[in-house]
Chains A and B, each alone.
Chain A
């Protein structure tokens, strides 16, 4: 089973410390939610885990192998990223884009083989983008593009899937669809880590939540992380926690007026 260990990760941008001594571990089959306010370092942590950013200290181990020390090609076969609002060339077709996820598996002097096309097709079917295969990226909606990028990531056949705010610009239907897909992927054995800002949804779907504010405040099951105290400490707001009527997971209701802080 896939096992991820983040050890003493420290990331500094010039004088500003973005991530301070982050330690966490996770296994395949889990869906981990990264939550925290803006500027907390969620994207940075994802980049450091993905290996596209070299930390100032610490390391990321996937099955005891240092991800940062791997060459890009080998790493891309283990870890796939779905970025937030990335730049995409509008003229490419969906199928071409998903096939690009096969790049790390292709030999230097060769092209795609039958197997690569099949993997891409499965990835598109899993993300319900098979019907979009001939469309150009420029004609897709935000939700469709999101699913195409997820398909591209799946085409890499990774063991670790990282998603940066996948629900940020989506309407409710697509938010749920994306998170359902992430849950399915985790259940099928992938280790999925999602940076997400919607606390209730995070609590509903994730196995564990990592609360980040530059440092890792807590890393635990949703019921133990989504509490009034932790939310005040991380977000500086008052919140009411109630159980979800169907799932029992914590529903976070933000309170506009906090009698304790009336000035």
Chain B
């Protein structure tokens, strides 16, 4: 961008960004189709694609597959993969938001209590269901996790308030304190309950407790609305990366921006975590990787991270089904196994170049 006209350069850059987004979308769809295709019953990817296309496209496609195959794709695998994609996108975008608000590359969506709160809520629900099985229905676990996550963050926000402002430092401290509290309480409740540990443990490690289309239809609107809100706030997030005073001087209503971003990021994380348990590393790794390629502007970072998160988690899910087939590894374990070496590589690069 030397002495040429700056606006030409920027128009070019915009076009490139859109191109990257479309490519990312295509990759997500491709990974998705392969994810659906693979499993205990292997279905050719092309057939998978046509089964799904037949549902969307109006021109009739003559089915050359068995009805049972279609059932596997449409009723079992497609919703599962969609939920995983949505979860990955939610965790990654929320990671971008948290890293921006806290101006910290180590921030992830669980920083101020979402994971601990979700875990505690889930455990309470499981225990309650043991004692009062008639009261609780199919979605007891997700509801418990969702409410637990939101309640924890709400308390953290109230505790972190100093006068008329909510400094990120006190938010952080309150978040750490409450997370520890929630985790300890969870352990306590678990000990007292004794049985039914399997379900809870699986949840905490990150695996799917619900199947079918219901989780998808519940989470995708939350994710969509949340993402749009974060995109609207993206420019303010850029300014907040400097410091709050500079952001204020540049016209950002800082307290309101922080509130909106944290609430939104928390909501989409809580929704994601409610069905899949707290899956770690996605919210940390994906924003960093995308930042290395696309730079720090949140208006690019958010959509690309969402796509990256969806891809990453779908791939992790693929691995979790394939690595120890016919059994499944919990998703949280796979992301951790992938996450740690990645993190170490990132650390080495960070030492050499400034990238935040």
Contact = CB atoms under 8 A, between A and B. Distances in A.
A16 interface: no
Contacts of B297: 92, 96
Given A96-B297, A106-B235, A134-B1, A156 B245 contact: no
Nearest to B244: A52
A87 B242 contact: yes
Contact of B6 (A52, A80, A121): A121
Given A89-B296, A118-B7, A136-B354, A81 B249 contact: yes
Nearest to A96: B297
A112 B355 CA distance: 25
B250 A92 contact: no
A120 B297 CA distance: 17
Nearest to A81: B249
A13 to B, nearest CB: 13
Contact of A76 (B235, B238, B249, B356): B249
Interface stretch (A2-10, A17-25, A30-38, A97-105): A97-105
B128 interface: no
Given A72-B248, A75-B251, A108-B232, A103 B239 contact: yes
Q: How large is the interface on B (under 10, 10 to 19, 20 to 34, 35 or more residues)?
A: 20 to 34
Interface string A22-61: 0000000000000000000000000100101000000000
Contacts of B7: 114, 117-118, 121
A79 B251 CA distance: 10
A138 interface: yes
Contacts of A136: 354
Given A91-B291, A96-B297, A112-B10, A103 B250 contact: yes
Interface residues of A, number: 46
A138 B246 contact: no
Contact of B235 (A75, A80, A103): A103
B306 to A, nearest CB: 18
Nearest to A114: B7
Interface string A209-234: 00000000000000000000000000
B253 interface: yes
B295 interface: yes
B253 A89 contact: no
B328 interface: no
Nearest to B164: A54
Given A76-B251, A103-B250, A120 B235 contact: no
Contacts of A130: 3
Interface in B308-356: 354-356
A100 B355 contact: no
Interface string B1-20: 11101110010000000000
Given A100-B239, A138-B354, A73 B6 contact: no
A166 to B, nearest CB: 15
Do most interface residues of chain A lie in helix, strand or loop, or is the interface mixed? mixed
B232 to A, nearest CB: 6
Given A52-B245, A108-B232, A133-B1, A91 B251 contact: no
Contacts of B5: 121
Interface in B274-296: 291, 295-296
Contacts of A108: 232
B241 interface: yes
Given A118-B6, A121-B6, A133-B6, A50 B249 contact: yes
A176 interface: no
B90 to A, nearest CB: 22
B354 A90 contact: yes
Nearest to B241: A89
A114 B8 CA distance: 9
A60 B254 CA distance: 21
Contacts of A104: 250-251
B243 interface: yes
A89 B295 CA distance: 12
Contact of A156 (B3, B248, B250, B254): B250
Contacts of A131: 2
Contacts of A73: 251-253
A71 interface: yes
A147 interface: no
A88 interface: yes
A129 to B, nearest CB: 12
Contacts of B242: 86-89
A86 B246 contact: yes
Nearest 3 A/B pairs, CB to CB: A76-B251, A104-B251, A138-B354
15 contacts: A72-B253, A73-B252, A74-B251, A75-B251, A76-B251, A81-B246, A89-B356, A92-B241, A95-B1, A103-B235, A106-B235, A114-B7, A118-B6, A133-B2, A134-B1
Interface of A: 47, 50, 52, 71-77, 79-81, 83, 86-93, 95-96, 100-101, 103-104, 106, 108-109, 111-112, 114, 117-118, 120-121, 130-131, 133-134, 136, 138, 152, 156
Given A72-B251, A93-B295, A138-B354, 5 more contacts: A81-B249, A87-B103, A90-B355, A91-B296, A104-B250
